């Protein structure tokens, strides 16, 4: 949801992030901008970018969190092999964009539709995932887990060597 907030010498468009709990405007008018937390709208949000790690140049999300391939996924199948409890440990990388935006990614980006209707980002026809134990940018704790989870290169290849972080 987008709104405009006018005041002072600036007029800016914002995307609503969160309204304070238990705050109601019973007058039917618009709430003043100071009563709502706003997040500036990015003109061209980036879903993916590259980062340097001990495993080489890898694909990360806009916040710098590492993303992974699952070797049990089938290229261009349009589905994910990670289901049920797997999705708790390996959440999908989701987007709301028709086509994911990227900086420095040379592989082919796309999406598949998850069972709940969300768009999961794919790279070279394979779905991308986070590792739930990666807590901060630079973490690559999912690399090589069970010999089926691997970091992605900007060209869309799996990195099969060990890694220890940025």
* Count: domains in the chain: 2
pTM over 0.85: no
Residues 35 and 61 in one domain: no
61 and 133 share a domain?
A: yes
Characterize the bridge pairing of strands 109-113 and 94-95.
unpaired
Domain span holding position 28: 2-40
Q: Are residues 87 and 116 in the same domain?
A: yes
> Does the residue 17 lie in any domain?
yes
**Measuring CA to CA, which residue among 92, 104, 107, 90 is closest to residue 141?**
90
d(CA 120, CA 82): 12
Same domain, 140 and 107: yes
- Kindly state whether residue 110 falls inside one of the protein's structural domains: yes
Tell whether 149 and 83 lie within a shared domain: yes
Same domain, 113 and 155: yes
Q: How far apart are CA 134 and CA 14, in angstroms?
A: 30
* Nearest residue to 49 (alpha-carbon basis) of 62, 36, 40: 62
H helices within the chain, ranges in order? 86-89
pLDDT tens figures, 115-148 = 999 999 999 999 999 999 999 999 999 999 999 9
Report pLDDT digits (tens) over 58-117: 999 999 999 999 999 999 999 999 999 999 999 999 999 988 999 999 999 999 999 999
Helix (H, G, I), strand (E, B) or coil at 147: helix
């Amino acid at each position: 949801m987008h709104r405009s907030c006018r005041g002072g010498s600036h007029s800016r468009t914002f995307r609503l992030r969160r309204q304070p709990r238990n705050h109601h405007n019973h007058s039917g008018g618009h709430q003043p901008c100071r009563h709502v937390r706003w997040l500036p709208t990015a003109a061209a949000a980036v879903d993916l970018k590259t980062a340097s790690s001990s495993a080489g140049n890898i694909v990360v999300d806009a916040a710098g969190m590492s993303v992974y391939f699952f070797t049990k996924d089938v290229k261009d199948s349009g589905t994910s092999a990670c289901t049920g409890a797997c999705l708790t440990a390996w959440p999908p990388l989701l987007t709301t964009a028709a086509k994911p935006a990227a900086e420095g990614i040379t592989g082919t980006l796309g999406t598949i539709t998850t069972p709940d209707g969300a768009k999961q980002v794919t790279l070279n026809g394979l779905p991308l995932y986070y590792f739930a134990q990666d807590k901060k940018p630079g973490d690559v704790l999912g690399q090589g887990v069970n010999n089926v989870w691997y970091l992605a290169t900007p060209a869309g290849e799996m990195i099969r060597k060990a890694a220890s972080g940025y």
